[in-house]
Structure formats: C-alpha cells, structure tokens
Structure 1
Amino acid sequence: METDWRAAKRARTREAIQQAALRLFAEHGYDGVTVERIAAEAGVSHTTFFRYFPTKEDVVLSDNYDPLIARFVAARGEADPVERVRRGIAEALALLDEHEMVVVRERTRLMLSASALRARQWENRASTQRLLEEVLRGDASGAVPLALRVTAAACTAALATAVTAWAEDDGADLAATVDAAFAALERNRRA
C-alpha cells in the first residue's frame, strides 16, 4: 500500500511541475522561464525538478504515450503492420480525456514554437520509431528487418504529421486527424 501511495505522490508531483511549466511558458514564452521559476511555481525545489525532468526541454517533451501506444499495437492481431499501428494508436487515443487533449495540444504548439524543443523533437520521433520497430518485430531475434524499419518510420511520420496538423487547427479532432493521416499513408502505399 505504501508503494501505491508513493507512486501516486510522484505522479501528482510530476503533473504539478509540468502544469506549472506549461502555464509559465504560455505567459512568458519558453525562453523567458527558468527551471528555478518552474520549481517555485510548482512548490518544489529545483533539485526535485531535475529528479522528474533531466532538462527544461523534458518538462515539455516527456510523456507516457509511447509505451501506451506500444502496448496497444502489440496487442493487435492484424497481419498488415501499418493497419496494426493505425488501430493500436486509435485505441490508445480513445483513452485520452479532454484535459489530456488540451495538454497535448498545448505541448505540441510549444514544441513547434521553441527552437530548442524543435531540435529535440527529432530524438522523440526516433525513439517512437525504435519502439514501433521492436513491437512490430515481436519475438523475432536479430536486427529489425529493413521493411519493418521503413514501416515504423512511415507510421511515425504519419503520426507526427497528424499531431502537428491537429495542434495547428483548434477545430480538429485528434483521432480523426490521425486516422486520416494513416488513410493517406495506406492510399499512397497501395498506389
């Protein structure tokens, strides 16, 4: 029971830090906010901030969505890997509530506007791609086949492009935009 309490406390602290950071970034711009200011706003020390987020960029970039997506993609049974990823992502997105959607949109817009974050986005996409490669490879050993690497890269690009388009359009629906991106990928793949 004590472990559950500690995990819940860690999750609340992490969320408080991230919410404080996003609030401050919205008010003062990404470059106008220091880690010390974020920590003070969240009611923690700057040392505590760094226990949760190794860098200022990580407070924006860090999330738990990749493992969630990987879990749903791994559970899918479709033979076609693109369809597996498409449906797995759809299932993962269905779990996000309205508050999480607002936060994801806010974080994405921030990533697009701050040069330090745009540079780190490439690392995040590469990490997502590697995770999809591993999930699509399954239990097979050895190097990930080139075909699966290309498929994972295409799926990662479709997802990233859809999230960007959704973040730029207040009226867009994330699940529908992601599905449209994967439908375009399918059409182009079959053409």
Structure 2
Amino acid sequence: MTAPHPTPHPTPHPAAGSVREAKRTETREAIRQAAVVLFAEHGFDQVTVTDITRASGVARSTFFRYFPDKAEVLFEDDSASHLLLAKAVAGAARAAEEPLGDSFGAVMRVARAAILVLADSKAIQAVRYPVREQLIAETPQLQACSLVKERGYTDALDAALVEQGAAPLVARQAAHVATACYDAGYTQAFSSPETLPETVAAAFERLFAL
C-alpha cells in the first residue's frame, strides 16, 4: 500500500508582515496629519482626542494603540530614535581607532558621530512637518514634552556607549555633553530646521576647539 502523502502546511505569504506594517504606518500618519491640521487651525489646547479621531476616521481605541495622548502625536516614536542612536554608536565605535574605555576623547568622538546622525534624521522630519515645529515653540506643554524626549536621547546614547565598551561614568558624561550640543544646535536652527545638522556640527566644533 502506498503511504499517503503528508498534508502540506500552508506557507505564509512572505509580504504579509510588510503589508501589516505599511498599514500601521499609514494609519499612524493619517492620525498625525489630521492632528497637525486641527492644532494649526484651533490651537493645541482646544483640540481633543475625539476631534482627532473624527478627522482621521479612526476609533478612539485605535488612536490609543498608536499614541498615549494627543501631545505624543507631534513627536516621532522614541524607540525609532533610540535605535537610530544605538546603530550610529555601534558604527562609529567600529570605525574608531582606539577602544572607548575611559578615554573621554574617544567616547566623545563616537557620541558626536551618533548625534549628527540623529540631527540629520530630525532635520528631515522638521522640514516635513514645519507646522509641528511652530506648535512646539508656541505651546509650553509641548516644549516640556520635547525636553523629556531630549533626556531620553541622553539615556539612549549613554546605554549605547556603554554597550560599545565605554566606561559607565565617561559614557554618562559624554552623553550629556553631546546632547547639550544637539540642544544648542536645535535652538540655533529653529527658524531654519533644514540647517540642524550644520548647527549641531558647529556646536561640537566649538567644544572640540577648547
């Protein structure tokens, strides 16, 4: 008797994951765009989450799957920026001429390279969403959120530097100094966000010229 052939298992469509991710990105962007328009027209304080969900055509439960509150709509996903910093630190550390260890100079050079990658990314976002930058400048609550984000960059940079072999105390100090340079460049480039990489680089140049 011929043995029966095993029943083949269905093969998942290779693009299924990317389709879902594209849909998530599309939904997130629709919420963001609707919110920015409403904030620009009515002011941040006058717009509710319900207003945003109605304008973007999503349910409240969907909104809260993407954002914890309406302020977060105006900021990029923290995890993406932190991952970007970690990858940039790893790349710069591999290219460094010496181990990081407790060498403040070596750690700062790697931190500078990573922060400049972040600045490039943020410049692209700012040019894409100029109204968002204006809203942040005009709204104290959003300014506070922005400061929290910057502290998050410091922590992420610190952790990435330690992961690549920097001594913990040196990594912490370098992370604070590097994000201070980012903040100085951000302040200078506010009215011309496309210049953020240049203004951040100039802040580091002033530091390294000491």
1:105/1:86 CA distance change after superposition, 3 Å = farther
* AA in 1 matched with 2:50: E
CA contact (8 A) 2:89 2:160 kept: yes
Q: C-alpha offsets along residues 106-162 of structure 1, whole Å, 9 cap, x if unaligned?
A: 433322321112222332122111100011112559xx6222211101111211231
* AA in 1 matched with 2:85: I
2: CA distance between counterparts of 1:128 and 1:120? Answer: 13
The match for 1:120 among 137, 145, 151 is 145
The match for 1:134 among 159, 167, 183 is 159
What is residue 11 of structure 2 aligned with on the other side? Answer: none
The Cα shift of 1:15 comes to 1.2
1:109 aligns with 2:123: no
2: CA distance between counterparts of 1:73 and 1:109? Answer: 30
What is residue 176 of structure 1 aligned with on the other side? Answer: 198
Normalised TM-score (structure 2):
0.76
The structure whose Rg is larger is 2
CA contact (8 A) 1:108 1:164 kept: no
**Number of aligned positions between the proteins:** 184
1:83 aligns with 2:109: yes
1:120/1:137 CA distance change after superposition, 3 Å = same
CA contact (8 A) 1:53 1:59 kept: yes
CA contact (8 A) 2:119 2:197 kept: yes
What is residue 45 of structure 1 aligned with on the other side? Answer: 59
1:108/1:153 CA distance change after superposition, 3 Å = farther
Q: Structure 1 residues 57-66 or 42-51, which shifts more?
A: 57-66
1:74 aligns with 2:90: yes
* AA in 1 matched with 2:208: E
The Cα shift of 1:81 comes to 2.1
* AA in 2 matched with 1:125: E
What is residue 37 of structure 2 aligned with on the other side? Answer: 23
The Cα shift of 1:97 comes to 8.2
Percent of residue pairs identical: 34
Q: Structure 1 residues 23-32 or 74-83, which shifts more?
A: 74-83
